[in-house]
Amino acid sequence: MPTRTAVIASAVGLHARPAGLFVGLAGEAVRSGVTVTIGRPGEDPVNAASILSVLALGARHGDTVELSVEGADADTVLDRLVDELSIDRDSEGS
Amino acid sequence: MSLVVSTLTGVAASPGTVLAPAVAWDPGVVAVAPAADLDDASARVVADLQFRATAATTAEGTAVLEALVMFAADPELLALAKSRVTRGESPEDAVRAAAASYADQLRGLGGYLAERAPDVEDVGARLGDALAGRAPAGLPRPGHPYVLVARDLAPADTALLDPAVVVGIVTEQGGPTSHTTILARSLGIPAVVACAGARAALDAHEVLLDGTRGEVHVDPPADLVADARAREARAAERRAHSRGPGTTADGVAVKLLANVGTVDEAAAAAAGDVEGIGLFRTEFLFLGRTEEPSVAEQVDTYSSVLDAFGERRVVFRTLDAGSDKPVPFLGLGEEDNPALGVRGLRTAAVRLDVLERQLQALAEAATRTATQPWVMAPMVSTAEEADAFAALARGAGLHHVGVMVEVPSAALRAGQVLRGVDFASVGTNDLAQYALAADRQLGDVAALLDPWQPALLDLVALTCAGADGHDLPVGVCGEAAADPHLAVVLVGLGVRSLSMAPRAVAGVRSTLAQVPLSVCRQAADAARAAADPAGARAAVASLLGA
CATH number at residue B52: 1.10.274.10
Say how far apart CA B344 and CA B465 lie, in whole Å: 25
Could you tell me if A12 lies within 8 Å of chain B, comparing CB atoms? yes
In this structure, the answer to whether residues B149 and B117 fall within a common structural domain is no
% residues pLDDT > 90 (chain A): 45
- Asked whether residue B106 is domain-assigned, the answer is yes
Could you tell me if B83 lies within 8 Å of chain A, comparing CB atoms? no
The boundaries of the domain holding residue B158 are: 7-27+138-238
Option in A15, A51, A58 nearest B74 (CB): A51
CB contact under 8 A, A60 and B288: yes
Interval A2-23 mean pLDDT: 86
In this structure, the answer to whether residues B194 and B257 fall within a common structural domain is no
Could you tell me if B60 lies within 8 Å of chain A, comparing CB atoms? no
**Cβ-based contacts under 8 A for chains A and B:** 61
* CATH code for the domain defined by A3-92: 3.30.1340.10
The residue type of B433 is Q
* pLDDT band for position B20 (cuts 50, 70, 90): very high
More confident residue, B524 or A33: B524
**Which of A50, A53, A64 to mutate to probe the B interface, most B CBs <10 Å?**
A50
In this structure, the answer to whether residues B150 and B283 fall within a common structural domain is no
pLDDT of residue A94: 34
The residue type of B116 is R
In this structure, the answer to whether residues B114 and B143 fall within a common structural domain is no
Query: Which residue(s) pair with B375 in the sheet?
Result: B316, B401
CATH number at residue B184: 3.50.30.10
* pLDDT band for position B12 (cuts 50, 70, 90): confident
Å between A75 CA and nearest CA of chain B? 24
ipTM: 0.93
pLDDT of residue B3: 46
Poorest-pLDDT segment among A45-59, B39-53, B167-181: B167-181
CB contact under 8 A, A55 and B328: no
In this structure, the answer to whether residues B89 and B122 fall within a common structural domain is yes
* pLDDT band for position B174 (cuts 50, 70, 90): confident
Domain final position from B216, B238, B260: B238
Interval B435-451 mean pLDDT: 80
Could you tell me if A55 lies within 8 Å of chain B, comparing CB atoms? yes
Interval B363-371 mean pLDDT: 96
pLDDT of residue B449: 85
Q: Which residue of A has its CA nearest to B108?
A: A56
Burial class (CB in 10 A: 0-12, 13-18, 19+), B416: middle
pLDDT in tens, B415-430: 999 999 999 999 998 9
Question: Within 10 Å of residue B10's Cβ, how many Cβ atoms?
Answer: 25
- Asked whether residue B510 is domain-assigned, the answer is yes
Which are the catalytic amino acids of B?
Answer: 179, 477
pLDDT of residue B432: 93
Could you tell me if A51 lies within 8 Å of chain B, comparing CB atoms? yes
Within 8 A of B101 by CB-CB distance, chain A residues are none
**Which of B50, B101, B102, B119 to mutate to probe the A interface, most A CBs <10 Å?**
B102
pLDDT in tens, B378-387: 999 999 999 9
- Asked whether residue B278 is domain-assigned, the answer is yes
In this structure, the answer to whether residues B85 and B106 fall within a common structural domain is yes
pLDDT of residue B179: 62
Could you tell me if A41 lies within 8 Å of chain B, comparing CB atoms? no
- Asked whether residue B2 is domain-assigned, the answer is no
Q: Is the pLDDT of residue B388 over 50?
A: yes
More confident residue, B453 or B439: B453
Q: Is the pLDDT of residue B368 over 90?
A: yes
Say how far apart CA B53 and CA B65 lie, in whole Å: 5
Output the CA–CA distances (angstroms, integers) from residue A6 to A44, A88, B101, in the order listed. Answer: 16, 13, 28
Mean pLDDT score of chain B: 89
**Minimal CA–CA distance to B228: which of B249, B196, B246, B206?**
B206
pLDDT of residue A91: 46
Which are the catalytic amino acids of A?
Answer: 15
